[in-house]
Amino acid sequence: MADLETTVVKAINAALAQAMRDDERVIVLGEDVAQGGPYQATAGLAGEFGTERVRNTPISEGAVCGVAIGAAQAGLRPVVEIMFIDFITLALDQLVNHAAKAHFMSGGQLSVPLVLRTQGGAGGRAGAQHSQSLEAWLAHVPGLKVVMPSSAADAAGLLASAIADPNPVVFVENKSLYFRREPALTTLEPLALGRANRLRSGRDVTMVALSRMVGEALVAAERLADEGFAAEVIDPRTLVPLDLEPIVASVQQTRRAVIAHEAVRVGGFGAELAARLQAAAFDYLEAPIQRVGAPFTPVPLSPALEDAYRPGSEEIYQAAHAALEWDGREELAIRQPRRG
């Protein structure tokens, strides 16, 4: 009997296996990947494809990324696993100064079909150096594509497209989503990069959420529905390229927007999205764009403090109410200079 449920980590494993069956150029590199990796995303791959194509590496993220770039330029399609996005700091020289720029600097002669899978997000009691959300760093670099799936189906479909892409793609997975149970995948079809997904329609407020916060936005939307408000929920799925058009169209209808991510608010991708959104839909907005993110502090190790640190459905709900209830007339009156 076929499984009725799956998880994000199983979907990723299935997508990797399928890509390796379809294309012998696809290889997997990383620390302990032949044993399944820290979350078992690569479990069973070495048994099926051998350790020539599923290669354990030394604990040196810069070296691993550099080897993968060379392999990609030589004609392979490497998928690199960096255990935590926090450790991507050690690979940024290779990723940012080489992988992202090779095609441009060679006048289009070189391509780097590389996927770097990494895991972000807090909630695992892993401390400040293993719990960050650093996707905004990567979205700031021309030449990199950045993907953030929020479900098993999206993880599988987007990973298939990322592996097939001729450009370097950073695939940011959220650890808190790995083992959440979801309906089993009936098919494993690629999902185009740069296509947002509208998960819920609404007329009163648009919620744009990333990764884990998509589920939190849906919870907040249900809570608002009990109060008579209809919230639209959109998952961009990829930060680069960003599918801005459906988000703008939604805000033009609802006239209010909330942007939610787990990363700290200061300098987070929500700031970039808010800027682009207000530039495209300024005349339609009836309230300031609300941004939800973590406080500007390292992730606490204390369970109670980490729980308080992580934004969730409550913060999204409160932000939506701030947009729905905003009335700028009093603020405008305060700013008006006295005459006479």
Q: Could you tell me if 111 and 234 lie in one domain?
A: no
Q: Could you tell me if 204 and 288 lie in one domain?
A: yes
pLDDT at 333: 45
Spacing of C-alpha 257 from chain mean position? 19
pLDDT at 328: 61
Residues near 24 by beta carbon (within 8 Å), at least 6 away in sequence:
53
* This model's pTM is above 0.75: yes
Q: Please state, in angstroms and rounded to a whole number, the distance separating the CA atoms of residues 93 and 251.
A: 38
**For 190-236, how does the pLDDT look when each residue is reduced to its tens digit (9 = 90+)?**
999 999 999 999 999 999 999 999 999 999 999 999 999 999 999 99
Q: Could you tell me if 72 and 42 lie in one domain?
A: yes
Q: Could you tell me if 96 and 165 lie in one domain?
A: yes
Domain boundary among 152, 183, 214: 183
Domain boundary among 123, 157, 183: 183
pLDDT at 187: 81
Q: Does 98 participate in catalysis according to the annotation?
A: no
pLDDT at 1: 41
Coil, helix or strand for 225? Answer: helix
Q: Could you tell me if 37 and 163 lie in one domain?
A: yes
Compute CA distances 80 → 9, 13, 127, 183, 217, whole Å. Answer: 15, 13, 24, 27, 31
Q: Please state, in angstroms and rounded to a whole number, the distance separating the CA atoms of residues 338 and 340.
A: 7
Q: Which of 31, 61, 135, 306 is catalytic?
A: 61
For residue 83 the two structure tokens come to 């255990």
CATH code at 289? 3.40.50.920
Give first-to-last CA distance, the chain, whole Å.
83
Q: Could you tell me if 124 and 260 lie in one domain?
A: no
Q: Does 130 participate in catalysis according to the annotation?
A: yes
Count: domains in the chain: 2
Residue ranges in the chain whose pLDDT is less than 50:
1, 330-340
Compute CA distances 12 → 41, 194, 219, 223, whole Å. Answer: 6, 19, 25, 31
Q: Does the residue 10 lie in any domain?
A: yes
**By the 8 A CB rule, do 292 and 260 touch?**
yes
Radius of gyration of the chain (CA): 21
pLDDT at 338: 44
Q: Which residue has the tokens 């199983």?
A: 10
Q: Please state, in angstroms and rounded to a whole number, the distance separating the CA atoms of residues 268 and 291.
A: 10
**For 148-192, how does the pLDDT look when each residue is reduced to its tens digit (9 = 90+)?**
999 999 999 999 999 999 999 999 999 999 999 999 888 888 999
Q: Please state, in angstroms and rounded to a whole number, the distance separating the CA atoms of residues 59 and 136.
A: 25
Q: Could you tell me if 179 and 258 lie in one domain?
A: no
Q: Could you tell me if 23 and 168 lie in one domain?
A: yes
Q: Could you tell me if 177 and 202 lie in one domain?
A: no
pLDDT at 186: 82
pLDDT at 6: 94
Domain that holds residue 284: 197-325
- State the amino acid at position 199 in one-letter form: L
Q: Please state, in angstroms and rounded to a whole number, the distance separating the CA atoms of residues 26 and 79.
A: 7
Q: Which of 98, 130, 261, 321 is catalytic?
A: 130
